[in-house]
Amino acid sequence: MNAKTSKRLNMKDRYRIMTRDLAWEPSYQRHEDIFPQEDFEGIKIVDWSQWEDPFRLTMDNYWKFQAEKERKLYAIFDAVSQNNGQMNVSDPRYLNAVKLFITAVTPLEYNAYKGYARVGRQFGGVGARIACQMQSIDELRHTQTQIHAMSHYNKYFGGMHDFPHMFDRVWYLSVPKSFFEDASTAGPFEFLTAISFSFEYVLTNLLFLPFMSGAAYNGDMNTVTFGFSAQSDEARHMTLGLEIIKFILEQHEDNVPIVQKWLDKWLWRGYRLLSIVGMMMDYMLPNKVMSWAEAWEMYYEEAGGALFKELERYGIRPPKFAEQTVIGKNHVSHQTWFVFYQYGHATAFNTWIPTAKEMDWLSEKYPDTFDRLYRPRFELLAEKAAKGERFYNNTLPQLCQICQIPLAITEPDDDTMISHRDTVHEGERYHFCSDGCRDIFHNEPEKYVQAWLPVHQILQGNCGGADMEKVIGDYYRIEMGEDNLEFEGSPEQRRWKQWKQAV
Amino acid sequence: MMSVNANYPNYQGPVRDRVENFHGSQLVYVLWERHLLFCAPLTFLADPEMSFVDFLSEILRPALAPHPESEQLRFDEAKWRLDGEDFQPDLEKSLIDNGIDHKSQLRLITPWLSDLADAAI
Ligand SMILES: [Fe+2]
Ligand SMILES: [Fe+2]
Ligand SMILES: [Zn+2]
């Protein structure tokens, strides 16, 4: 190496040489043959060079930063295992939030890794390709570090042993799975609008902060540390999400209505998906961080409201049905926990009635809804349980064709009436939980007629037969009496007491 | 209704829940309105030739048994809706002859039965 080339480049030149200059103009293949998915969604890109990478991070630096983060992270994981860190959690019920995370969220990280690897190949602009490449690798790292973070708990608690298998099969995990597969089977620009913008930019604070702060409040050092390690990646992903949406909107005015339709769809889908986070915050965390309604106000109504103001100059309006989410924030966590409680024989975690103190907290946080509607339901079921008649719903629920959530959410203007919509498409009837989900179907019926609805699959005989015990045990691999059912009196509770006495 | 925008023409996903896939049975959903102890409407597999009265006694009645109001529940005092319309079932006729076909949603509407109604239980 001679003296001239080893001279240090300034940041700007370095970035140019290590990213933009890695691309070339093809001479003997046509652009549309190399990037065959770039046009079909109708998005018009006039000039890819307008893409601004807000980080100017080059691949060599990226490896250096990430390696450093990994070293610190694994040092802490080691310390947690050596010091029996599982005994520091606030209450064994807390681990059920971890089980939900590893089965429902970690597989999404893996799908994000695959998704960015795919779409990164599809863009004509090198800036976008490199950004997707880095995010793809980040998401694979998140998958791995989450698995490592939780593998320690897997040695002591149930429900985590078969998480990828469960993700592909278990009824409630079809909600996150179908959400992500919807994005992954869309075109590359819709994928970015769905995942980078709607999910990472607008909604990520409502997914990661609740889990990470929940971990911090409940003594789960591994998850907290993982969260810190992922934080700078997530900051990059969020910034990228905003950049992407502005870039698409600035490129051509014809892009505006297409993007608007995607925003309407993906914010509604994201909102429905986050129902499980709401229930986790309000019901599964022994030490509460804040209520779901407070989180929704802070991160969606305030932060999201400001964001959509900013996008107004591009001709973008707030997402359709946003007002329904504001009403729903006072109901959705209660309704969701009520679903899981009564189907608690088919969950890979324990469920329970909130304690009297927890119910008082819920009354205080939900003055308009909890005492009127939800406390009486939980008190009735607590009475039944005390008589040895713990309620399990042995029928199967009707599901929404789009979000795949049981139709357990009430009408925005009538909170004692289940919200239900239907439509007939080519002689076949389809059912939905809401106007938002029905709209999504109406926009692309040929896509959603094939939804793999867990209840219908069971009834078609595709999940190991008609015996629900076999479906749960053999097909889902939820170990009866170990992973599922009521927390009170569970093996998990019993073991915890023994371990605590032994200390 | 619009159409999917795919990267090749005439994209059509398989219709996964057509009645042929249920081996001679069909799906019937039942919602007991404003009774939310069962968190969602129920999904049943039923023979389309089964009479409505048999559907009530053999399928719906046992399914609703865990509800505290099930003992006061009298089907002959109930009102029904089928797929969004008021509905007068003919008890002896089959489901299909009553117009209850694959993926129909039936709604059961009962008068006030107990205090549980205050919280829509
Ligand atoms: Fe991630
Ligand atoms: Fe991310
Ligand atoms: Zn839905």
pLDDT tens for each residue of A363-403: 999 999 999 999 999 999 999 999 999 999 999 999 999 99
B76 to chain A, closest Cα gap in Å: 22
Per-residue confidence band for B107, with pLDDT thresholds at 50, 70 and 90: very high
User: Cα of A397 to ligand 3 centre, how many Å?
Assistant: 13
pLDDT surpassing 90 at residue A9: no
CA separation for the pair A378, A334 (Å, rounded): 10
Nearest residue of chain B to residue A373 (CA atoms): B119
**How many residues does this entry show for chain B?**
121
Per-residue confidence band for A145, with pLDDT thresholds at 50, 70 and 90: very high
User: Do the beta carbons of residue B27 and residue A456 sit within 8 Å?
Assistant: yes
Pick the residue of B36, B67, B112 with the most A CBs within 10 A to test the interface with A by mutation. B36
- Considering the domain boundaries, does residue B59 fall inside one? yes
Q: Is the pTM of this model over 0.95?
A: yes
Residue by residue, DSSP assigns A164-194 as HHHHHH-GGGHHHHHHHHHHHTS-HHHHIII
pLDDT surpassing 90 at residue A52: no
- The structure tokens 């713990």 sit at A390
Total count of domains within chain B: 1
pLDDT tens for each residue of A475-485: 999 999 999 99
CA separation for the pair A210, A181 (Å, rounded): 24
User: Do the beta carbons of residue B27 and residue A469 sit within 8 Å?
Assistant: no
Which tokens sit at A391? 């309620």
Note the pLDDT of residue A140.
Answer: 98
Which tokens sit at A197? 């913008």
Mean pLDDT along residues A273-286: 97
User: Cα of A136 to ligand 2 centre, how many Å?
Assistant: 9
- Considering the domain boundaries, does residue B8 fall inside one? no
CATH number of the domain that residue B63 is part of = 3.10.20.560
At residue A294, the 3 state secondary structure works out as helix
Note the pLDDT of residue B105.
Answer: 98
Are A393 and B83 inside 8 Å of each other by CB?
no
Mean pLDDT along residues B41-45: 98
Are B13 and A442 inside 8 Å of each other by CB?
no
User: Do the beta carbons of residue A433 and residue A405 sit within 8 Å?
Assistant: yes
User: Cα of A102 to ligand 2 centre, how many Å?
Assistant: 16
Count other Cβ atoms within 10 Å, centred on residue B34: 17
CA separation for the pair A254, A157 (Å, rounded): 53
- Considering the domain boundaries, does residue B74 fall inside one? yes
- Chain B residues touching A189 at Cβ < 8 A: none
In chain A the domains, ranked by start, together with CATH numbers, are 48-352+391-502 (1.10.620.20)
- Chain B residues touching A380 at Cβ < 8 A: 37, 68, 116, 121
- Chain B residues touching A452 at Cβ < 8 A: 16
- Considering the domain boundaries, does residue B41 fall inside one? yes
User: Cα of A403 to ligand 3 centre, how many Å?
Assistant: 4
Closest ligand to C-alpha of residue A175 is: 3
Nearest-CB residue to A418 (from B22, B31, B45): B31
**Widest distance between CA atoms in chain A:** 84
- Chain B residues touching A460 at Cβ < 8 A: 17, 21-23
Instruction: Give the rounded percent of residues in chain A with a pLDDT score beyond 70.
Output: 99
Q: Is A189 exposed, middle or buried (0-12, 13-18, 19+ CB in 10 A)?
A: buried
Residue by residue, DSSP assigns A212-270 as HHHHHHTT-HHHHHHHHHHHHHHHHHHHHHHHHHHHHHHH-TTHHHHHHHHHHHHHHHH
User: Do the beta carbons of residue A390 and residue A398 sit within 8 Å?
Assistant: no
- Considering the domain boundaries, does residue B7 fall inside one? no
Instruction: Give the rounded percent of residues in chain B with a pLDDT score beyond 70.
Output: 100
Pick the residue of A262, A429, A434 with the most B CBs within 10 A to test the interface with B by mutation. A429
Nearest residue of chain B to residue A337 (CA atoms): B39
Nearest-CB residue to B43 (from A335, A396, A445): A396
Three-state secondary structure of A34-102: HCCCCCCCCCCCCCHHHCCCCCCCCHHHHHHHHHHHHHHHHHHHHHHHHCCHHHHCCCHHHHHHHHHHH
User: Cα of A153 to ligand 1 centre, how many Å?
Assistant: 21
Nearest-CB residue to B121 (from A377, A407, A459): A377
Are A376 and B116 inside 8 Å of each other by CB?
yes
- Considering the domain boundaries, does residue B43 fall inside one? yes
Please state which of the ranges A125-129, A467-471, B101-105 shows the lowest mean pLDDT.
A125-129
Query: What b-and-e string marks burial along B53-75, b requiring 16 or more CB atoms within 10 Å of the CB?
Result: ebbbeebbeebbebbebbeebeb
Cα–Cα distance list, A33 to A29, A184, A251 (Å): 7, 21, 22
Closest ligand to C-alpha of residue A107 is: 1
Enumerate residues 6+ apart whose C-beta is below 8 A from A462.
none
Residue span of the structural domain in which B35 resides? 22-119
- Considering the domain boundaries, does residue B85 fall inside one? yes
Enumerate residues 6+ apart whose C-beta is below 8 A from A65.
A57, A232
pLDDT tens for each residue of A167-226: 999 999 999 999 999 999 999 999 999 999 999 999 988 998 899 999 999 999 999 999
- Considering the domain boundaries, does residue B12 fall inside one? no
Instruction: Give the rounded percent of residues in chain A with a pLDDT score beyond 90.
Output: 90
Give the closest residue to A319 by CA, choosing from A199, A409, A189.
A199
Nearest-CB residue to B43 (from A335, A377, A455): A455
Per-residue confidence band for A5, with pLDDT thresholds at 50, 70 and 90: low
Mean pLDDT along residues A409-427: 98
Note the pLDDT of residue A325.
Answer: 96
Mean pLDDT along residues A154-173: 98
- Chain A residues touching B27 at Cβ < 8 A: 456, 459
| Mean per-residue pLDDT over chain A, rounded | 95
pLDDT surpassing 70 at residue A336: yes
User: Cα of A278 to ligand 2 centre, how many Å?
Assistant: 20
Note the pLDDT of residue A6.
Answer: 58
Are B3 and A444 inside 8 Å of each other by CB?
yes
B17 to chain A, closest Cα gap in Å: 7
Mean pLDDT along residues A67-96: 96
User: Cα of A284 to ligand 3 centre, how many Å?
Assistant: 23
B93 to chain A, closest Cα gap in Å: 22
Are B120 and A416 inside 8 Å of each other by CB?
yes
User: Do the beta carbons of residue A442 and residue A426 sit within 8 Å?
Assistant: no
- Chain B residues touching A417 at Cβ < 8 A: 33-34
Note the pLDDT of residue A3.
Answer: 47
- Chain B residues touching A368 at Cβ < 8 A: none
CA separation for the pair A483, A492 (Å, rounded): 9
- Chain A residues touching B2 at Cβ < 8 A: 442-444
Are A380 and B68 inside 8 Å of each other by CB?
yes
Pick the residue of A383, A392, A409, A416 with the most B CBs within 10 A to test the interface with B by mutation. A416
CA separation for the pair A248, A189 (Å, rounded): 9
User: Do the beta carbons of residue A449 and residue B16 sit within 8 Å?
Assistant: yes
At residue A158, the 3 state secondary structure works out as coil
